[in-house]
Structure 1
Amino acid sequence: MKPWLDLYPVTIPKTLEYDRKPVQQYLTDAAKKYPNKTAIHFMGKELTYQELFESSLKMANYLRSLDIKKGDRVAIMLPNTPQAVISYYGILYAGAIVVQTNPLYTERELEYQMKDSGAKAIIGLDLLYPRITKVMANTDLEHIIVTAIKDYLPFPKNVIYPFIQKRDTGIVVKVNHEGNRHLFKHIMNVSSPDEVPTEFNFDSDLALLQYTGGTTGNPKGVMLTHKNLIANATACDAWLYKMKKGEESILGLLPLFHVYGMTTVLILGVMEGYEMILLPKFDVETTLKTIHKQRPTLFPGAPTIYIGLLNHPDIKKYDLSSIESCISGSAPLPIEVQEKFEEATGGKLVEGYGLTETSPVTHANFLWDQERIKGSIGVPWPDTEAKIVSMENGEALPPGEVGEIAVKGPQVMQGYWNMPEETENTLKDGWLLTGDLGYMDEKGYFYVVDRKKDMIIAGGFNIYPREIEEVLYEHPAVQEVVAAGVPDVYRGETVKAYIVLKEGKNVTEKELDEFARKHLAAYKVPKIYEFRDELPKTAVGKVLRRHLVDEERKKMEQEEKLG
């Protein structure tokens, strides 16, 4: 029974046909169809689809010359730059598997991922070179390819940028193209753009090892095939049915090393012949200026990004009306943020849902031609099944009952790299247990109440942080909020709210407490409030709730020792 299919507008197929070809074939096709169209816009520099295609083949041929073979792993440790796109498709053209690596990783995190993945080569930024070289000896890494932001900047930015980099970081890195050290720029000058033939199996060949955030335990390498990625990008295209092939432009602000940015920008963009407007990091003013000047029509993002833009004091100075559609992911989207962003742009912003393990999207709200349910993650995408299962016995639950969300579909991973036991615990008869608690209503709309691990149990009551956060977001002084369960001698856990205030706004704990009590049952109202300048977040903007809880535990242990 799939009640959500009755909600689909006629414009969205209930089942899809998928191209049985490798992901990189979309770039080959786009270069033939749109050779002179801008594929990438990066801080004033533009690359056409033909240039992107040839550059990717040069990288593929060079990797082959380093004895990178089909199935070998090659890591990318880059922010959103043309080099990140070239490297991604170059690795796939070589028949290898991409290992996306967060440029913010510490040496310990980087070493773990390189050891676990067995990557033979890494493509990284010059600023990261010292960090990478320190871990090479303890891993299987044989080669490092180095690039710099300035390599793809237009004149005179390419001349000025190294001075700015030195001023801001104090780091000056000089690498010679010799031995197992290779310069990206040199590769583009000497390597051949000839096509690279590789054998290919659509159903089983891995395209990507995408590591989970590791907010609980070590990160896990999620094995995603070409089929997984193509299925999800195809479904994304079907959901965005008003977008015109070859005519749209996507704001590439989400990190491409994150699965959401990779699917919605890197793959969908090339699949549809869109222009990708890349920004290497999230800066509110730069983002607003870029939207005003470059006129993107698609803007995949995360709630913290939309919140940051909405709270800029000069937002009204910028024309944001080019934006037609945004699907928000990575964290719950507060209703107030959705409404205000739609008012500021005139476009549609809806909440979606997914995981690294599902390439990543499984659910989303309808953008057009159908009712949008506020507070819901929407309905399953074409060919995606979903159900709510009991945490006690795994049985499917009826509408309205809270349990664990389970999903099944062509975008679901093959398993975790080198972790058969973890795979067995997460994949049950083709169903992926998400670790998220939620329910489905009678119509087929799904709702996330919280992460299974984030649920607060205080005085015997089950409390969901998201419900508390939704209420506090409605207070006019609150810019960001996260609720967490912190240790409490009497209740086991108690609710604490961490608050970031809007610029120029003030509110007391007492006022927040009175506000919360009007909207929440007494046992759900935060007992402690803490005001902060910022909240700890992942690169994609997801608040690290566990970091805050760990802080509290350490503080409590310290107090007990002092005693």
Structure 2
Amino acid sequence: MTTDKIWLRHYPDQIPSSLSYENKTLHSYLKEAAHTFPNKEALDFLGKTMTYGEVYDEALRLANQLILLGIKKGDRVAVMLANSPQAVICYYGVLMSGAIVVQTNPLYVEREIEHQVNDSEAKVMICLDALFPRVEKIRGDSSLEHVIVTSIKDYLSFPKNLIYPFVQKRQTGMKVTIDYNDNTHHLTSILASGQAVEPEVTVDPSEDLALLQYTGGTTGLAKGVMLTHSNLVINTQQAGAWMYRMRAGEERTLAALPFFHVYGMTVVMNFSIMYRSKMIILPKFDPVQALKAIDKHEITLFPGTPTMYVGLINEPSMKKYDLSSIKVCLSGSAPLPLEVQEKFEKLSGGKLVEGYGLTETSPVVMSMPIWGKQKTGSTGIPWPDTDADILSVQTNQSAKDGEIGEIIVKGPQVMKGYWNQPEETAASFNEDWFLTGDMGYRDEDGYFHIVDRKKNVIIAGGFNIYPREIEEVLYEHVGIQEAVVIGIPDPYRGETVKAFIVLKEHQRLTSDELQAFCRKRLASFKVPRLFEFRDELPKTMVGKVLRRVLLEEEKKKLQSDETTGNH
């Protein structure tokens, strides 16, 4: 299969179709920044700042201490931290030791932690003190040899570091007591006794893994995606080429996306380090805290998710804050409704564009040109050195323009494969094309449009229905803050369309009103038959709605109704 790459005609003159990539390790960029600009502020965490020199120094100390604990090149080290200075230090410190980072979601329960630790055969876990009890429960049945513990307060400025333990106890209702010993270490002590010298470890960027990033878990058991140093370096350089108006050393990035998610890791953390930006780190996303940070620090780059932008748009106090410093917002992880894009651009004056990618692609493969031809409803065009096509369901060949099929991609940012799963790896490729599992089409200009995940397609009465199209319509309603659509089992139609709605504050709507609204904008077979109003939707920490959770709830209801005889 070959493509004509007609999208290249829509590249701005400043973006080349192919880039020259540096054959470097990911952590070498932190070293360069520290040597060139040792006193430049690298991050700000709730008022506590660290320079590039200080971050590099602590990452070196951790790397050497990991080696003393027995970590060898290629070993896996799990990092389960919220956004914090420690998350940056530990990520790069693990890489400097020659080990592979296993990013672990702090929201995971014991079963999920145990699966990820044992699947990766991680020897060390670095975690927050509040998460230590979960790690301790699975430790005896796992591959872990050492646990390194840190606290948010360790990197807070005075007096916040004194107040934090009381806040933590009030919020969690627990006080964690840790018995530090030969196998359980405090990060602060580890760093204090570590040497700030570069370890003698040789890493081949194109072959050696930097990361095992486990797939989201929204659809089932997570798989470990193998990403090399080159995969991540290249995707970060591609991001820099795409955002060509951003100036190295001059930008201020809002780090609200979780670093443990591949999207936040690449377009926030890795990008900031490579281009010597200053990261303003939020431990979790809160609309008011984000608005305050944008105003105070004059944020220029704000990668986020649709739910984050929705949260800011609907924050009652938004008009109190100045957002005019924002140059670029990249939206990912979920479809960006047009209404949300237009409102946020109007409020901030910056550009908000949707991007598309997957964990398996480091993650970005395409996005809308930031300063170029825009297309309503499109997710944009492939990045430099990236190819994309639509695989026809009927012919298993390239689909015609406008024909819906599976999106397939290839490029230097595509993963090496799935960890210890050769069959899964083979099944996810068609020759050298990666099968994304997403359904979409390409238009006559080469712009790609995603209609939905292959597994999200609803088949009702023989019709293929794409939830994203219905969600776009629902977002047009002035009273709706969030909407998600799923197919629930139906004995007659196969599946029935159901919409879950979160209303804006002080809004009141009925199912009949929403059905009438949809009927004016959708074919009758696409109109939701059922509506459920909720205060909030179940989401991952990065803001992606957990459709699986909603579907499981519906199936349980159906089983309960069958048991009790209610139909």
Q: Which TM-score applies when normalising by structure 1?
A: 0.99
Conserved in 2, the CA contact under 8 Å of 1:212 and 1:221? yes
CA distance in 2, matches of 1:382, 1:30: 25
Partner of 1:341: 344
Aligned residues: CA RMSD:
0.8
Partner of 2:429: 427
Partner of 1:213: 216
Partner of 2:397: 395
1:21-420 aligned at under 5 Å gives the runs 21-368=24-371, 370-420=372-422
From 495, 499, 503, give the equivalent of 1:501: 503
Partner of 2:547: 545
Describe the SS at the equivalent of 2:455: coil
Amino acid paired to 1:496:
K
1:393 CA displacement: 4.3
Partner of 1:436: 438
1:367 CA displacement: 0.8
1:377 CA displacement: 0.4
CA distance in 2, matches of 1:395, 1:346: 42
Greater mean alpha carbon deviation, residues 177-186 or residues 234-243: 177-186
CA distance in 1, matches of 2:463, 2:128: 49
2:20 counterpart of 1:6: no
CA distance in 2, matches of 1:546, 1:78: 25
Describe the SS at the equivalent of 1:453: helix
1:289 CA displacement: 1.1
CA distances 1:23-77 after superposition (whole Å, capped 9, x unpaired): 0000000011111110010000000000000000000000000010000000000
Partner of 2:562: 560
Partner of 1:532: 534
1:188 CA displacement: 2.0
CA distance in 2, matches of 1:128, 1:202: 32
1:321 CA displacement: 1.1
CA distance in 2, matches of 1:51, 1:6: 44
1:176 CA displacement: 4.3
CA distance in 1, matches of 2:24, 2:316: 47
Number of equivalences: 562
1:177 CA displacement: 3.7
CA distance in 1, matches of 2:325, 2:307: 21
Describe the SS at the equivalent of 1:119: coil
CA distance in 2, matches of 1:546, 1:84: 29
CA distance in 2, matches of 1:316, 1:47: 31
Amino acid paired to 1:184:
L
Greater mean alpha carbon deviation, residues 405-414 or residues 481-490: 481-490
Amino acid paired to 1:157:
K
1:360 CA displacement: 0.2
Conserved in 2, the CA contact under 8 Å of 1:176 and 1:183? no
Describe the SS at the equivalent of 2:456: coil
CA distance in 1, matches of 2:559, 2:89: 49
CA distance in 2, matches of 1:101, 1:185: 21
Amino acid paired to 2:320:
K
CA distance in 2, matches of 1:546, 1:190: 46
Conserved in 2, the CA contact under 8 Å of 1:472 and 1:516? yes
Partner of 2:448: 446
1:175 CA displacement: 2.5
Describe the SS at the equivalent of 2:112: helix
Amino acid paired to 2:72:
K
1:391 CA displacement: 2.6
Amino acid paired to 2:444:
E
1:394 CA displacement: 2.3
Amino acid paired to 2:486:
A
Partner of 2:514: 512
1:418 CA displacement: 1.1
Describe the SS at the equivalent of 2:508: coil
Partner of 2:23: 20
Give the gaps of 5 or more residues in structure 1: none
Q: Which TM-score applies when normalising by structure 2?
A: 0.98
Runs of 4+ in 1 over 4 A off after TM superposition: none
CA distance in 1, matches of 2:231, 2:174: 40
Describe the SS at the equivalent of 2:78: strand
Percent same amino acid among aligned pairs? 59
Partner of 1:522: 524
Describe the SS at the equivalent of 1:511: helix
CA distance in 2, matches of 1:170, 1:561: 38
Describe the SS at the equivalent of 2:373: coil
CA distance in 1, matches of 2:502, 2:162: 38
Describe the SS at the equivalent of 2:55: helix
CA distance in 1, matches of 2:429, 2:190: 42
